[in-house]
Structure 1
Amino acid sequence: MNDRTSALDSVVFGVDIQSGDIRGDSPSYALVVLDTRDTESDEVRIERDVVSFRKLRRLIERDEPAFVATDNMYELATDKDDLVRFLRWLPHETRLVQVTGAERPEPLSRVASRHGVPYGKDPMKEAEAAARLALANVGYEVAAFENTTTVKVSRGRSTGKGGWSQDRYTRRIHGSVRQQAREVESALTDANLDFEQDVTEKYGGYSQALFTVEARPQDIPVSTHRSGDTRVEIERERRDGIEFEPLVKRRDRVIVGIDPGTTTAVAVVGFDGRVLDVHSTRTADTAAVIEWLIERGRPSLVAADVHPMPETVEKFRRSFDAAGWEPPSDIPVDEKLHRTRDIDYENDHERDALAAALFAFDDHEDQFERISRKVPADVDREEVIARVLVNDESVEAVLRDLDDEGGDEGDESEADAHESSERTPEERKISDLKSRVERLESHVDDLKSTIEAKDETIEEYKTELSEARREERREARERREINRLERENGRLERTVESLEAENEALTDKLDRLKSLWKLDHSNFADVNTDGIPAGDGEWEVPDGESEASESSRNLMPVKVVEQFTNGALDETVEQYGIAAGDVVYLRDASGAGRTTAERLAEFDPKVVLRSGNLSEVADEVLFEADIPVAPADDVAIQEIDELAVARESDVAAAIADWEDRAEERQKEQQKEMVDQIISEHRAENRR
């Protein structure tokens, strides 16, 4: 059964387009008026007429019906903006109702058949069907405005461009706006309405006062008007778009499919297989989802799309005391896609919830039909099905229980019926409100149970969270210790690398020092001097000394430079060093310039032995630095490993030979200089 009551003591307009089009010039409408006012019986006065759109608006303004019902709201407006203007124009107590559904309306014939309302394809019959459905509170109200109203108090005249009395005139207008704003504020306060005030102060008072009131225009004790210096405008706050609100909250028996997880999705399907609603959320808790489901029906069968049923779905089932359904095995994705191919959904979670509810319906559809065939027309079919599903009773047992309940109250029902027919509308309204209170109290009890279960779950989660935090702190300490050890290991590895590099450098330096020590202190007794030319005579060996000892004293180290370049000099200096008094052997003396020769002269060697010819520049630099230069062929040089030695006598002879040549060279230079002076003197005397 639906918890619906008729729209008693009201006028309902049913409208359907008769001819033409609202986008055309002159559409006509089939209008059916159902009037239940001032009737002592259940009879409804019916009026039928074909009217133009202009006359329809006049009738709505005159009668202010409770509902203007239609099967398609765009038969009264060309587009969404035009529909908003139409809704703004409607009287405060009149609501536009689309009886065929919300965003996805059904055919009017199907809705009328489901609710037992006569239907015909003639526009007048469709208008009557729409009116009767709205009278039974079937359908959705088309809404474009919030229950918030803006009251604007502003200037009714311009302050002008100036003049002798301009300041006084402006002050008077602003003072009037302030006075009118205070009156509006007082009226709203007296009516116990919640509102916010925003004023713009100007010279002498207010230029504007804006009140945002939490109420509908008809509930506000202020009207739109203009009076002298001020004007008052009232306008409802518009919503973001067009929304649909059900005339009543349905409480039909339904099948619910649930897909739990981080995103919880729920789908609601009627016992006839129609998808009523689908919803998914990442933030709502179990209580919020249960409340959402209660607003859309009474769940009698809760379904899952996997096997076995998840614990979360089982909790929902126990909350509603409903029967459960689960597939023999997890439903494949392709079967879900095929079953929900004609239904709109936003994500995979909603698809899974829809599939669970629809497969549950498919599994019970034959059972529903068998039960329906056994249920008499005057018995609530959904109630029988629900009791069979939940309590696993037979249809006959459920019908007997219902008959017994009805028999015990049979005597009273007749009296109640008689008394009900004599009750006033206020008494009937009170009875309906009492029934609603009972339902809400039952709902509150359910929510309290849910809250208790939720509190227990929260405590469990708190315990798990505490354990998880302790474990996380322990792991954090371990990670910090590991990071510290890794940093210390890295520092030690860098220290080892630095020490190894330093050790390598010291080893190289030690090798060079050993080489130098060999040059100055080695025992050259084992040097083979057989290949060294004897020179001008045999070696003289002092008495008591061997020939080897004499040869050792007569040898001296030679520093070898591979090529007369700065790079080769750097390499020799790095390996052995060049000091003053050393014998330097240039293995290739060609190609040196002034800079290289000057650098060699700075070392102040004892003698430079050369292989090849020096450049004139280098020879001049070394000569001016008084560095002896001799051909290497004049000195016997023997290389021992990376070292070289020569006899002192050969070196001394080469130096003496250079000194003789240097003396002759100096004499030649002096002679050339004297000849040049004489030549210059004679040239000056000729002038």
Structure 2
Amino acid sequence: MKVFGIDIIKGSVRSRTRRPVYALARVEDGDIQSVEEVTGFRLQRLLAAEEPDILAVDSLQEIAADQRELHAFLQALPPATKLVQVTGGEKKESLGKVAARYNISFNKFDPYAEARTTARVAALGAGVEVIAFENTTDIVVSRHRSPGRGGWSQNRYARKIHGAVMQKAREIEGRLRGAGLDYEKKETKAFGGYSRVAFRVRAPREMVPVHSSRGADVQVRVAGRQLDRIRFEPLSGRPRYLIVGLDPGTTTGIAAVDLDGNLVLLSSSRQMTMSDIVEELYRAGKPLIVASDVREMPYSVEKIRRAFNAIPYTPKQSLSVEAKYDLTAPFSYTNDHERDALSAALDAYRSLQNKFRNIVKRVGPGFDLDEVRARVLRGQPLDTVLADLQGVPAAKKEAEPAAEAEPERPVEDERVMALDGMVKRLRSYVQELQDDLRERGREVERLRQDVRRARSAAERKIRRDAELAAKDAAIESLREQLRGERRRSRRLKKRLERMQKVAKLEVSEDYTPLKVLESLTREAVRALQEEIGIAEGDVLYVPRTHGWGRGVVKDLAGTGVRALVVGGEPPDPHLIRVAREIDLSLLPAETVSPEIRGRTGAALTGAVEDAVAEWKEEQKEFRREQEAERVEYLVKEYRSEREKEVRRGG
């Protein structure tokens, strides 16, 4: 692969008097061939003569002052040459940072060194390709001179020019057909031929076997169709490796830094699902390490880490607030969740800094440090990684000479071949016209018969299509009803099976059936009512009471359930008080020892009866205490009123 790298020595593209002079570095197959000083005109000549694969710059401002000049520069490039900006596209970074990524150092004040570095990093895959044209090419063949008013020979002169335009257009059309390209043609007829022929080819400019040219009578202009906005595409399809920090919760914080510690992504949101987090990280790059700010990685962070097959990182001790402030001091963030996520990513990067320094010392220039560091962190030995990466350019070097060994065809040979192909196509075209002429008579008669048959057939087809459409709609409606009934049947079957299990347990005298309530919420009560049903005298089991409310406890008491068995941690004292106020038996799971299987369970009847009896005794004591409190309150109120009367009477 041949790469040109340039950097301005003096002058500017915006100056009319001091035109730019460039330092030009040639790199071929990773080796620097030469470095020289060239003008802009000389650079265009060298690009047209040598047709490198890549022209690399560190800024588009060095070759064009505005978008119009940039389009003109790209139009003048050879079709196979890519314009690459090594410092990035819309988000640019310095050439020093890009070169450091490949362990390359250079003198920033030396234009020749910058040109060499620009070419080397572009050859290694850095930067973005500048794309300003669509995958459509316009070819315009027109007169190169005007016929003018002329004299006696004016008609012969105009016929000569228009005939040359027609001949050139047919030659170009033959090349397009020979290349198998799809195109549209628009012709402007004139005396003796065409004054203008325009082709619109559905292919990029580098695939079109036609070049702009000028002759005595004819000119050819080949141009790609400009995009509304210049697009940047990464030269290397491999995304950058990232160190990701996550702070899960109601508000999720996401932070990502590259392997040099530069911030790439920092955001937070209250409405992000796991798929949203994965998609945002995928757009930013390739997570190599997923980190958390606590000692034990949360399950949600672990799931995201597994989604990318990334390396986990957790600190030896959960990061304190002071440590988080110290880590994130150079950066700005909007909330504590972004701070926690960023501190996790930076702590992971800080723990790897020494290892990264050692790798840089042992790796020579010209290697992608991100790829080397990523493979070493994955567990590969450094020598193996370097040998593997060295093998890639070597394989390319062996493959390229074979392509270069093909001799180029002389221009005359191409013209002869194009003319031969044109003759063959014209002969076949004449034969096709003769065949068409013989077919015309038979086709006219067939068309007359077809018209007569079509009138009746079209009416029958319209009626048949309308009937088929109505029947298809009816069939689809019935299928949808059938699917709904099948779903309803499956739900009812499952509900019946659960109710049968409960009924079997109710028949047994030794065991009391339990219906499992997932949580003490109205949604869970509604779900249990739909699946199994809640009847008067039922005993319910709830594994946890988090999120309970006074309304749902009153609703359960209103259904007439006999008791509510509570599992997990001891119930909230406020919950016990509410249950006693509405006289709903609340039984601890330890006293009943329930056996739970899915949505149902069972407990020994004796244990349930004893627990209910104990609750009733405690309920009596609670009622007595309430009555005593009420009497004491009334006595206090009476005394207070008496004291007020005595004071008023005295």
TM, length-normalised to structure 1: 0.44
Q: Report 1 or 2 for greater relative contact order, CA contacts < 8 Å, sequence distance ≥ 6.
A: 2
- When Rg is computed on C-alpha atoms for both structures, the one with the higher figure is 1
TM, length-normalised to structure 2: 0.46
